[in-house]
Amino acid sequence: MKHIAILASGTGTNAENIIRYFSNDKKAKVTLVLSNKPQAMVLERAAALGVDAFFFDRDQFYNTGEVLMMLRRRETDLVVLAGFLWLVPVELIHAFRGRIINIHPALLPQFGGKGMYGEKVHRAVLESGCTESGITIHYVNEYYDAGDIIFQARCPVLPGDDADTLAQRVHALEYEHFPKVISQLISNL
Ligand code: GRF
């Protein structure tokens, strides 16, 4: 059985979707959810589904190595960032090289980088006049949204879209594809 850990900062609908997807899986399950926000809804969602869920602070992430220790103690095979907003420290990236992935709600390399998250991404896509958006699942490296791309899926940007309607369409793609891509990666570990 492979162990998946999820890092998330917010609502955690992707985290919940991934937990549910693997709850009856024979080869992998989500064993740990960590958040840098003490009030993040993702912690409640995970706990309600019986997954251990903990808050960590900046010091535990960047200085003391406690987050890395927790991941190791759980024998984590794959680290999944699902709406996680901090840059990942280099020690963690080295420890999980090729085993740490992120999802971004647009078609990278466009509309990524520091500060490009949530609604801001969708607003930038709308302002650009692009007729397409989508999702990008990629490996995590030392820079925001810059690791090798694993998978992309596309959706149209429709006339009359606002950030909300576009976000909903992109979220639907995330729910459909993210667990499957994780499952595929797990098979290759
Ligand atoms: C998703 O759109 C994801 O692509 C981005 O942050 C959002 C998280 O949403 N990185 P949720 O917390 O899973 O609902």
pLDDT of residue 28: 98
Q: Which pTM value belongs to this model?
A: 0.96
| Residues lining ligand 1, Cβ inside 6 A | 8, 10-15, 82-83, 103-105, 171, 174
Topology (CATH level 3) of domain 2-103+137-152+174-187: Rossmann fold (3.40.50)
Helical residues (DSSP H) of the chain, grouped into ranges: 13-22, 41-48, 58-62, 66-73, 90-95, 119-128, 163-187
Express each pLDDT in 114-151 by its tens digit.
999 999 999 999 999 999 999 999 999 998 999 999 99
* C-alpha of residue 22 to centroid of ligand 1, in Å: 18
Q: Which two tokens stand for residue 110?
A: 């466009």
The pLDDT tens digits of the residues spanning 69-103 come to 999 999 999 999 999 999 999 999 999 999 999 99
The tokens for 11 are 């609502």
Residue 140 confidence (pLDDT): 97
Kindly give the distance from the C-alpha atom of residue 87 to the centroid of ligand 1, in angstroms, as a whole number. Answer: 15
End-to-end CA distance of the chain: 11
Catalytic residue positions, numbered: 104
Structural domain spans, the chain: 2-103+137-152+174-187
Among residues of the chain, what percentage have pLDDT more than 70? 100
pLDDT reported for residue 78: 98
Look over the chain and give the mean of its residue pLDDT values, rounded to a whole number.
97
CB-based contacts of 107-111 (< 8 A; 24+ apart in sequence): 107/132, 107/133, 107/134, 107/135, 107/136, 107/152, 107/154, 108/136, 108/138, 108/145, 108/149, 108/152, 109/145, 109/146
Residue 134's SS3 state is strand
From the CA of 84, give the closest atom in ligand 1.
Answer: 10
DSSP letter for 34, please.
E
Q: Whose CA is nearest to atom 5 of ligand 1?
A: 83
Q: Considering only CA atoms, which residue is closest to atom 14 of ligand 1?
A: 13
